[in-house]
Amino acid sequence: MKRKAVLIVNPSSGKEQARAYTEEAVKELQKVYEEVEVKETKGPEDATDFAKEASEEGVSLVVSMGGDGTVHEVVNGLSENEVRPALGIIPLGTVNDLARALGIPLRPEEAIEVLTKGKMRPIDIARAGDRYFTSGFALGRVPESIHQVTPDEKSKLGPLAYLLAGLKQLMEKEKIQLKIDSKEQVFQGELMAVVGSLSGSLGGFEGIFPEATLEDGKLHVLLIEDLSLLDTAKILPDFLKGDVASSDHLTYFATRKMKVTPVGEEHYESDLDGEKGPKVPFTVEVLKAHLNVLAPEEEK
């Protein structure tokens, strides 16, 4: 079978710069692949459908050109299949968490070169219920507020827009009631939020979980309990520096698998990679070395 690459383009990403880079990406891919097919998304889940079709066809590489939402959809299209194409990423989004974690350049011109000069890197991903994610996980009112951040706010403030939305929601002090059950941690009670990361980055802020890597087989989780404005002001600098154990109001653990159940009748909304995920209850499970991604060679 001839080597084929499929380039999945979100034309609205990167201030609509995606189309400007498509021709350049195709030329680069044609150096290595006998056939290159371009597919443009027009609506939600198009990228998932395109990636699933490419996987079933047996192509060698699927490239996501867009933001984290496009990567998220592409990964969900690839991950269910037993034999999966490699993944390439040309980041055009606000946050670009997975690209940052892999060292993929955030300049599209440089990221395009990685498609032919990069090395295959096996990475962990995770599944929450029936959805897959590669970077961030969150539960509660904070993700609900993050989903309300407008494109204009993201364009003006970048990752800071998500941080401000999350902090504003934390100040509302509206709690969720959950049971968290894993080998490493059992919790039942009220929380302000649950956040987790496979890569160590969260919402564009790197190094939140400094011990996390995309190859360690773990989801790094933080349970956030009752925080006052003063508590938040004290904790935030340490939190952003990766000192997640600095407060009595934070519980940190790393796990391969955990079950999340609501205490009561409300089925809280989850966030996966900045996108709406399933509502609780569900189980989160890390899938070790599930995807091969083209990334720059790691410095030794």
Domain residue ranges in the chain: 4-117, 133-287
- Other Cβ atoms closer than 10 A to 166: 21
Select 4-117's CATH number: 3.40.50.300, 1.20.1250.20, 3.40.50.2000, 3.40.50.10330: 3.40.50.10330
Residues counted in the chain: 300
Cβ atoms of residues 284 and 125 within 8 Å: no
Q: What is the mean pLDDT of residues 193-208?
A: 79
pLDDT higher than 80, residue 37 = yes
> How does pLDDT run across 245-297, given as a tens digit for each residue?
556 678 899 999 999 999 988 888 899 998 889 999 999 999 999 999 999 98
Q: Which amino acid is at 32?
A: V
> How does pLDDT run across 46-87, given as a tens digit for each residue?
999 999 999 999 999 999 999 999 999 999 999 998 899 999
DSSP 135-163: SEEEESHHHHHHTT--HHHHHHHTTHHHH
Note the pLDDT of residue 169: 54
CA distance 122 to 23: 28
Treating both helix axes as pointing N-terminal to C-terminal, what angle do 18-29 and 108-117 enclose, rounded to 10 degrees?
Answer: 20
Please give the structure tokens belonging to residue 211.
Answer: 């011990």
pLDDT higher than 90, residue 18 = no
> How does pLDDT run across 111-143, given as a tens digit for each residue?
999 999 999 999 999 999 999 999 989 887 665
Note the pLDDT of residue 225: 79
pLDDT higher than 90, residue 164 = no
Select 133-287's CATH number: 3.30.70.20, 1.10.3720.10, 2.60.200.40, 3.30.70.3040: 2.60.200.40
pTM: 0.86
- Domains 4-117 and 133-287 equal at CATH topology level: no
